[in-house]
Structure 1
Amino acid sequence: MKSLINLLLLILYITTTTTTIVASSKPFVEKTNGDDLKTFEQIVMGYGYPCESHYVTTQDGYILQLFRIPYGQSGDTHTTRQPVLLQHGLLDSSFTWIVNLPGQSLAYILADQGYDVWMGNNRGNTYSTNHTTLSPESAQFWDFSFDEMGRYDLPATMEYVVQSTGYKTLPYIGHSEGTIQAWISYLSNSSVVDWAPLFIGLGPVGNVSNIQNNGLKYMAIHNIDTDLAKMGMLRFLPSPTLLRSLFVDFCLGCDECCAGVIEALCGPHRGAFNDSRMSVVAGHEPGGTSLKNMQHWAQGVREKQFQAFDYGSSSANILHYNDPAPPVYDVRNFPSSVKVALFSGGMDELADPIDVSDLVKQLPSSSLLVWKIIPNYAHLDYVWAIDANTVIYQDVVQLIQKYF
């Protein structure tokens, strides 16, 4: 009963303390074109772009769905193009890269600039709930966190892209948790170092000691993640498909109310946003993950260091790591041959400015190409704000053009 009460308090807390979307987004109103009820592929093709669906199997058997936009609206189907890999953040999916219209969303912009755009989906989100042997109804299927996303998902995705395209290298762009798994991959897998010599991080996350996100902070402080695990919860959110079906109508009726709920789950939004797209967001977000992954985030808040999952006892950790304590991911050992460009926000409550500054100080100076701070940006703005095309994406395209 205490666990249930804490969960209800968490929902109440985050939905009553979330900042609503700024009024400056109101002038930028566009029709949804029915995108709230369309599939990923239908949305992309509806704007005149080709879209392909691909599947990659990880070393431990998870089947991940990838989406590909091989060329832009006026592209030549016979021309090979430099691949670019985009990876989403916490509780998100590849949809985040097409949330806005052509000219505003990074996937469309890169495709129109002549790139072959690939978008990954981590295990356990709405597009990646298959396995070679495990059922998503089993506890074993949901026994993962961002450790496995870094060790298995990202390397498998990169390998699939380079093999499919014939290109030996690609630029990697990650948002939020897409940067966490990148640090892990680069630190543990030499092939990733070779495949992706340019890493562009949007809202980069490592150590979350100073996190201000209401939901995650409340969950960590009150050990709600532990309580939910004891209750037998495996999936977070338990039924994202059902949630979306109820959520679309709610968002059509009150876009600002909708914004409050989504921000509570994913972090606040401060940049200019097209309010009329909120029902579209609700039709595809959140993407979901495992409860164990949420536990891992909460552990980071409590332990105040960037480390592997803590199994709760010396004996359990010895079983997994041959050490009584989980290993720390030390970004001071980040490979200096990989060039890094970071974009962070002054109002980001998940990738807190203090934590990002600490992260930057630890990176090898020879790796860091640029660190751009956008004072008024929060955690979703890197992918949702309609002015990101000028604030960030122009720089992203220029970096890729320079190094590829």
Structure 2
Amino acid sequence: MLFKLCIIKFIIIFHVIYVHTENTIDYDLRDTDPSIIEDATLDTFTLIKKYGFPCEIHRVYTEDKYILEVHRVPYGKRNSTRQNRPVVFLQHGLLSSSAEFVLMRPDKGLAYLLAEAGYDVWMGNARGNTYSRHHAFLKPTSSEFWKFSWHEIGHYDVPAMIDYVIKETGVQKIQYIGFSQGTTAFWVMTSTRPEYNDKILAMHAMAPIAYVGNIRSPVIRAVAPFTNSLERILKLIGANEILPNGMINKLAGEKLCLEEALTQVLCKNLLFLFCGFNAEQLNTTMLPVVLGHTPAGASTRQFIHFGQMYKSKKFAFFDQGWFRNKWNYGTFKPPSYNISAIRTPIFLHYADNDWLSTPKDVDKFFKEAKTVVGKYRVPLDKFNHLDFVFANDAKKLIYDRIIRIMSQFI
């Protein structure tokens, strides 16, 4: 009953905001930088091209026939040398896409900084997000299309994209940068398919997530107790996907989150509610751009899987119920991932104010993983989860350090 009331309350609040925005807000946008509004609506490829960088679109087929879109920045705008560039692969977080690495423009976006630092930059897109909504046989309107969690992203998507990148570039090994769920997918890949350890020179984890037993996000903690029934409830109302890119993003990018909008405070607090508070590092001018691209969609099972781990305090496979667990795993409870199988050199980067990747959970993974080379705390007390990709000072606080570490593996 409580869960249903929460759902109803959310729908009412969103409806009020939507109706108020459509019927009563008529902003004078003459003082708003038109480039901000444009960036909120451009796709990743067009956004990169807008700022003078080269970009390519590649499509990758997974073993289970999902079709993924990968974006490549082969060289920089100033540093345009094209020969013998080391290769780096970037994987986004939950509810996001490759766009999160370029939204903050060339002087702050990680993909741009890497390209100018001499790297051939590839950015993946997980199944189900804005850019990877295709399958050889299934349509995203089908429930079958959405029967995956981040396990499948790690077991099928990331390996397929890495194999493609290696084949296209001709290199033997690449470097990997993962943010949030992008790190979870890496742990899945290198523990269930250990041969992929040999294809990665080094793994750089921003806001690493394996264990989530100490998660502090009130939203996730409120949903977690209902994860066993959540999937059933959402199926009844026909929802296999959470927060796809669409009307919410359009409203956020064009009206709700502009600096002169009364509703901008809702945009800021929505981000803080999930990830932690740090107003100082949030560039409110760029909020329309961030929320014009994020959320980018995910399956309900991705959320359910994280919720299961919060309750169990384990980094384990998806809990399918005791009968299906026994049939598929051979045990009544889902097995834990074999972290000891990970052999890639790992660099962990975490923050004290991260409500999703908490210091305690990062430390638990650190103690179990055998090949962690270093664990680095971002030297800013209020630095939170999304600050790893959107903070004003992300370059100074984290990116410059990662790029220095990467230079040791060239």
Normalised TM-score (structure 2): 0.88
Cα separation, 2, equivalents of 1:220 and 1:161: 36
Cα separation, 2, equivalents of 1:171 and 1:325: 34
**Where do residues 31-42 of structure 1 align in structure 2 (5 Å cutoff)?**
32=36, 34-42=38-46
AA paired with 2:240? R
Instruction: Report the alpha carbon displacement of residue 66 of structure 1 after superposing the two structures with TM.
Output: 0.7
**Which secondary structure state, in structure 2, belongs to the residue aligned with residue 56 of structure 1?**
strand
- CA shift digits 1:223-275 (9 cap, x unpaired): 473453352444332543122122221112243321222444x5235261221
Instruction: Report the alpha carbon displacement of residue 304 of structure 1 after superposing the two structures with TM.
Output: 1.3
Instruction: Report the alpha carbon displacement of residue 3 of structure 1 after superposing the two structures with TM.
Output: 5.1
Q: Identify if the C-alpha distance between structure 1 residues 187 and 13 changes in structure 2 by more than 3 Å, giving closer, same or farther.
A: farther
Instruction: Report the alpha carbon displacement of residue 284 of structure 1 after superposing the two structures with TM.
Output: 0.8
**Where do residues 24-103 of structure 1 align in structure 2 (5 Å cutoff)?**
32=36, 34-76=38-80, 78-103=82-107
Is 1:343 aligned to residue 349 of structure 2? yes
* Contact 2:59–2:70 (CA under 8 A) maintained in structure 1: yes
* Contact 2:108–2:394 (CA under 8 A) maintained in structure 1: yes
AA paired with 2:296? G
Cα separation, 1, equivalents of 2:10 and 2:292: 23
Cα separation, 2, equivalents of 1:245 and 1:30: 15
* Contact 1:237–1:289 (CA under 8 A) maintained in structure 2: yes
Instruction: Report the alpha carbon displacement of residue 178 of structure 1 after superposing the two structures with TM.
Output: 0.6
Q: Identify if the C-alpha distance between structure 1 residues 30 and 173 changes in structure 2 by more than 3 Å, giving closer, same or farther.
A: farther
- CA shift digits 1:4-47 (9 cap, x unpaired): 42323567999xxxxxxxxxxxxxx9962721122212211111
Worse overlay, 60-69 or 316-325: 316-325
Cα separation, 1, equivalents of 2:202 and 2:110: 17
Q: Choose which of 246, 249, 258 in structure 2 pairs with 1:241.
A: 246
Instruction: Report the alpha carbon displacement of residue 142 of structure 1 after superposing the two structures with TM.
Output: 0.2
* Residue of structure 2 equivalent to 1:324: 332
Worse overlay, 315-324 or 278-287: 315-324
Q: Identify if the C-alpha distance between structure 1 residues 11 and 88 changes in structure 2 by more than 3 Å, giving closer, same or farther.
A: farther
Instruction: Calculate percent identity across the aligned residue pairs.
Output: 32
Cα separation, 2, equivalents of 1:103 and 1:309: 40
Unaligned runs of 5+ in 1: 15-28
Is 1:304 aligned to residue 310 of structure 2? no
**Where do residues 258-277 of structure 1 align in structure 2 (5 Å cutoff)?**
258-264=267-273, 267-270=275-278, 272-277=281-286
Q: Identify if the C-alpha distance between structure 1 residues 13 and 170 changes in structure 2 by more than 3 Å, giving closer, same or farther.
A: farther
* Residue of structure 2 equivalent to 1:185: 189
Instruction: Report the alpha carbon displacement of residue 322 of structure 1 after superposing the two structures with TM.
Output: 2.4
AA paired with 1:331? I
Aligned residue-pair number: 384
- CA shift digits 1:272-327 (9 cap, x unpaired): 12211101112111011001111111111111111000012x21112222222211
Q: Choose which of 130, 137, 143 in structure 2 pairs with 1:139.
A: 143
- CA shift digits 1:109-131 (9 cap, x unpaired): 00001111111011111111100
Cα separation, 1, equivalents of 2:277 and 2:166: 34
* Residue of structure 1 equivalent to 2:407: 401
AA paired with 2:267? C
Is 1:5 aligned to residue 5 of structure 2? yes
- CA shift digits 1:184-208 (9 cap, x unpaired): 1111213311111300000001111
**Where do residues 371-386 of structure 1 align in structure 2 (5 Å cutoff)?**
371-374=375-378, 375-386=381-392
Cα separation, 2, equivalents of 1:380 and 1:209: 19
Worse overlay, 374-383 or 341-350: 374-383
Unaligned runs of 5+ in 2: 15-32
Q: Choose which of 152, 176, 179 in structure 2 pairs with 1:175.
A: 179
AA paired with 1:174? G
* Residue of structure 1 equivalent to 2:368: 362
**Which secondary structure state, in structure 2, belongs to the residue aligned with residue 122 of structure 1?**
coil
Cα separation, 2, equivalents of 1:250 and 1:73: 33
Q: Identify if the C-alpha distance between structure 1 residues 51 and 273 changes in structure 2 by more than 3 Å, giving closer, same or farther.
A: same
Cα separation, 2, equivalents of 1:297 and 1:244: 24
The structure showing larger relative contact order (alpha-carbon pairs under 8 Å, at least 6 residues apart) is 1
Q: Identify if the C-alpha distance between structure 1 residues 219 and 33 changes in structure 2 by more than 3 Å, giving closer, same or farther.
A: closer
* Contact 1:92–1:125 (CA under 8 A) maintained in structure 2: yes
* Residue of structure 1 equivalent to 2:30: none
Cα separation, 1, equivalents of 2:235 and 2:74: 45
**Which secondary structure state, in structure 2, belongs to the residue aligned with residue 124 of structure 1?**
coil
* Contact 2:143–2:240 (CA under 8 A) maintained in structure 1: no
AA paired with 1:56? V
Q: Choose which of 281, 288, 303 in structure 1 pairs with 2:297.
A: 288
RMSD: 2.3
